[in-house]
Amino acid sequence: MTTGSITPKLFDLAWPLVLGNLLQTLYNLADMFWVGRVSTEAVAAVSLMFPLSWMFVSTAVGLTAATIAVVSQHIGAGNDRRADEVVAQTVLLALAVSVVLALAGFAARNWLLFWIGARGAVFVESLAYIEVIFLTLPLTFLFFAFRASLQGAGDTRTAMWLVAISAALNIVIDPVFILGWGPVPALGTRGAAIATLIARLFATAVGVWILLRGDWGVKLYLRDLRPNPTILRKLIDVGYPATLDGWARSFAAVAMAALVARFGPAATAAYGIGVRLMSISWSVAGAVGQATATGVGQNLGAKTPARAAAVTRVATAGTMALLAAAGGLVWLFPAAAMRVFVADPETIAEGVVFLRIVALSWAFFGGLMVVQGGFRGAGDTKVAMALSLLSRWVVRIPLAAALAFGAVSVTVGGVGVGPIAVPAVEIGYTGRAWGVEGLWWAYTTAAVVSFLLGVAWFRRGTWTEGVIDEEPAAEPTDD
């Protein structure tokens, strides 16, 4: 990524990531498709559990964002051995964090489900699903460590093929465990989680073997698995804002799911399906953002910051054009998109309203994710985190609560303050509740506002210094 024409090299780096992320999305889409053959309550349960499970997965994404930044900059600077050390320390950190989160999440599972709003049959189905998902967390973290390590070295295809195989495995065994086949009983939502566990176990085992082989740009040396405080501090310093960024996204998704749950199972199921469709656009934008991070990191390591900025501009423009077209297609045929997953007329009607409001903002969602990828590749993960907090917790959640349920009303001139329906502050707001549509309009508004702020912040150019040092690494004495 440090020489030659940017567009073809960016495309060559990005398309395996795009395809890999889309295939990863098939995990969730396949679950939703087959669970939709069980009941509306099962669909609502998986819909509620998606943001909760992603809250933990996003920690892995944030942690390995540091790996991409540090490995890519060492590769760009020509210090491959230092990159190998970073890989080993990433594996250690991923294991430690994932085990802690799995244990904490399992212990608090009942409270978490109740807080989100799961009740009755939805609570039972949600519990069956999330208990197994917690077991997959160490596998998920290790796979993300593998993918980020290879990506930092510029190899995006190997992980893509591995995701393709594991996604195919998940799709094949999903109906076996969800609906039952042969000696396997019908397990419903728990079966969906078991299928995911098996597929991730396969992907993780192969990924670790690839790192140990060392034929794909970086290598995992067993000797390097001893804690290295210097590298761990660097990974934590660069990675914790990206982790908080992921938590801000996930907690916001959990909060939105909790707000949607107040409008009943049909609205919750429609939201879950709509978010799954949106996740396709997120997969594309997230993959291009990851490619952008690699390009920015390698160019900063090679001391070419102007080229790093150009990589980000090209990636953002291309992503927004693609997602604008995809969003327009969904906007034209929203009912057809919903019927792929569910036949319930009430759920389809709710989903049509959701997609008609949100689909045209997909380009802005994607554009911001690419810009954030540029910041992460530079190691400036604090700015990427700030943009997520701004988008979700400053704009989306307060505005969603205000529009859906009503907000503060203030007399003109400041004479008196009217009753507060929800904790949302908007001076001059009339307090009229829009219902569930208010939640969807908050999504769209936050996407546009945060994208414009992200572009303005990137243009300031404060991210061009990079995060690596020039200290050489010691050669390993054995594997």
DSSP string, 180-195: -BTTBPP-THHHHHHH
User: Across the strands, what pairs with 410?
Assistant: 417
State residue 469's pLDDT score: 60
Query: What type of residue sits at position 97?
Result: V
Rounded CA gap, 265 and 63, in Å?
34
Rounded CA gap, 251 and 401, in Å?
15
Rounded CA gap, 327 and 361, in Å?
7
In tens, the pLDDT along 70-106 reads 888 888 878 888 889 999 999 999 999 899 989 998 9
What's the mean pLDDT in 192-220? 90
What's the mean pLDDT in 291-302? 88
What's the mean pLDDT in 338-359? 88
User: Across the strands, what pairs with 87?
Assistant: none
pLDDT of residue 34 exceeding 70, the answer is yes
Name 312's Cβ contacts closer than 8 Å, sequence gap at least 6. 292, 295, 296, 370, 371, 373, 374, 458
What's the mean pLDDT in 407-433? 41
DSSP 5-34: -HHHHHHHHHHHHHHHHHHHHHHHHHHHHH
CA atoms within 13 A on the CB side of 228: 19
State residue 340's pLDDT score: 83
**Helix (H/G/I), strand (E/B), else coil: 410:** strand
Mean pLDDT value across the chain: 83
- Band (14; pLDDT cuts 50, 70, 90): confident
What's the mean pLDDT in 12-39? 79
What's the mean pLDDT in 382-387? 88
Rounded CA gap, 245 and 248, in Å?
5
- Band (423; pLDDT cuts 50, 70, 90): very low
Q: Name the residue with tokens 């569910």.
A: 342
What's the mean pLDDT in 409-413? 39
DSSP-assigned letter for residue 4: S
Query: What type of residue sits at position 297?
Result: G
Higher pLDDT, 21 or 129: 129
State residue 357's pLDDT score: 92
pLDDT of residue 471 exceeding 60, the answer is no
Q: Which two tokens stand for residue 456?
A: 């303005």
> How many Å separate Cα 218 from the centre of its chain?
25
What's the mean pLDDT in 316-320? 94
What's the mean pLDDT in 181-204? 90
User: Across the strands, what pairs with 417?
Assistant: 410
State residue 468's pLDDT score: 62
CA Rg value for the chain: 22
- Contact 151/159 with Cβ under 8 angstroms? yes
CA atoms within 13 A on the CB side of 236: 11
Write down the domain spans for the chain: 6-458
State residue 426's pLDDT score: 40
pLDDT of residue 45 exceeding 90, the answer is no
pLDDT of residue 29 exceeding 50, the answer is yes
- Band (417; pLDDT cuts 50, 70, 90): very low
pLDDT of residue 60 exceeding 80, the answer is yes
Reported in sequence order, the residue ranges of 169-268 that DSSP labels E, i.e. its strands, are none
- Band (156; pLDDT cuts 50, 70, 90): confident
- Band (409; pLDDT cuts 50, 70, 90): very low
Cβ atoms < 10 Å from Cβ of 182: 6
State residue 419's pLDDT score: 35
417 φ, ψ to 5°? -115, 130
pLDDT of residue 359 exceeding 70, the answer is yes
Share of the chain above pLDDT 90, in %: 28
Rounded CA gap, 151 and 296, in Å?
12
User: Across the strands, what pairs with 181?
Assistant: 184
Q: Which two tokens stand for residue 245?
A: 């960024």
Rounded CA gap, 298 and 70, in Å?
9
State residue 408's pLDDT score: 42
Global pTM?
0.69
Q: Which two tokens stand for residue 67?
A: 């790996």
Q: Which two tokens stand for residue 416?
A: 């008196």
- Contact 234/467 with Cβ under 8 angstroms? yes
Highest mean predicted confidence (pLDDT) among 16-30, 109-123, 275-289, 378-392:
378-392
